[in-house]
């Protein structure tokens, strides 16, 4: 008999989660992108140029 790997692992991955309300988060001051990551990318482009 063959194994059904999709059914075997379905319980692990197919779970419901509560999503964050993005509009409320932006009003609270949370940013979409972290400033640290943006700063590192800008510095790396400046060094390469």
Report pLDDT digits (tens) over 1-49: 689 999 999 999 999 989 889 888 888 887 777 666 666 666 666 665 5
**Residue 43 belongs to some domain of the structure:** yes
**Residue 25 belongs to some domain of the structure:** yes
Cα 12 versus chain centre, distance: 19
List own/partner pairs for 2-6 with CB under 8 A and 24 or more apart.
Answer: none
Using the 8-state DSSP alphabet, how is residue 11 labeled?
H
**Residue 41 belongs to some domain of the structure:** yes
**Residue 44 belongs to some domain of the structure:** yes
Residue span of the structural domain in which 36 resides: 19-49
pTM: 0.36
Give the position of tokens 């319980």. Answer: 11
Domain count, the chain: 1
**Residue 33 belongs to some domain of the structure:** yes
**Residue 3 belongs to some domain of the structure:** no
Specify the 3-state DSSP secondary structure of 18: coil
Specify the 3-state DSSP secondary structure of 8: helix
**Residue 7 belongs to some domain of the structure:** no
Distance from C-alpha of 28 to C-alpha of 2, rounded to nearest angstrom: 52
């Amino acid at each position: 008999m063959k194994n059904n790997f999709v059914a075997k692992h379905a319980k692990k991955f197919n779970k419901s989660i509560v999503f964050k309300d993005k509009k409320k988060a932006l009003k609270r001051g949370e940013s979409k992108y972290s400033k640290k990551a943006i700063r590192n990318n800008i510095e790396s482009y400046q060094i390469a140029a």
